[in-house]
Amino acid sequence: MKYYVLYKPYGYLSKFIDEDKHKGLQHLVKVPKDVYPVGRLDVDSEGLLILTNDNFLKHRMLTPQFRHKRVYAVQVDGQATQVHINLLKQGVQISVEGKAYKTLPPHQVRLLSDVHFPERIPPVRFRKNIPTSWIELTLTEGKNRQVRRMTAAVGIPTLRLIRTAIENISIVNFAEGELREMTKSEIYSKLNLSEK
């Protein structure tokens, strides 16, 4: 079995083929042919992707009943305040496949004051009269574009989204596009999974 952690940059798909002018992961990394990403990050999102050929791990990570913490650093349009944080903490009403859905209360939400992420290429748009700010959201569910829908619902639309951690696996000290291989025992331990 093979296990990798990747810091996916902005503009890349979470799969190994190109689509609609967007590049797939084959332009970034070389891994065995049977290794695939577990879950996804949208083309306009960045951060941690796990790649493996371990079907048990894929099942545990992708089945909603086995909730696991995913941490996102989110740059938002406007000044995030404690009011926004409190609204997010309660769970918010979003639309999922055309139906109203109330998100589970996040595991954690907080304002971030000190962020050190590499500049995005292309850069996030800036408007002189409107500040941007950063929050950190830790979710245990993963609806399509959930973070973006949640921040928009409370009035601070997402400008930049970076998944920084899944359980105890983090991309702190990773460079964009960096791939690191892990052992089975290491990744299972960090994901709080018991080895079969």
Identity (one letter) of the amino acid at 135? I
Number of domains in the chain: 2
Mean pLDDT of 52-76: 92
- Is this structure's pTM higher than 0.85? yes
The phi, psi pair for 151, rounded to 5°, reads: -65, -35
Catalytic positions are: 42
Q: How far is CA 102 from CA 93, 138, 141, 150, in A?
A: 4, 16, 12, 10
pLDDT of res. 64: 78
For residue 196, name the pLDDT band (cuts at 50, 70, 90): low
Residue partners of 29: CB distance under 8 A and separation at least 6:
4, 6, 51, 177, 179
* Whether residues 44 and 82 fall in one domain: no
pLDDT-wise least confident of 91-105, 123-137, 167-181: 123-137
pLDDT digits (tens, 9 = 90+) for 68-97: 999 999 999 999 999 999 999 999 999 988
CATH of the domain at 75: 3.30.70.1560
Q: Are strands 36-38 and 3-8 parallel, antiparallel or unpaired?
A: unpaired
Cis peptide preceding 122, ω within 30 of 0: yes
**Range of the structural domain that residue 130 is part of:** 69-166
Identity (one letter) of the amino acid at 146? Q
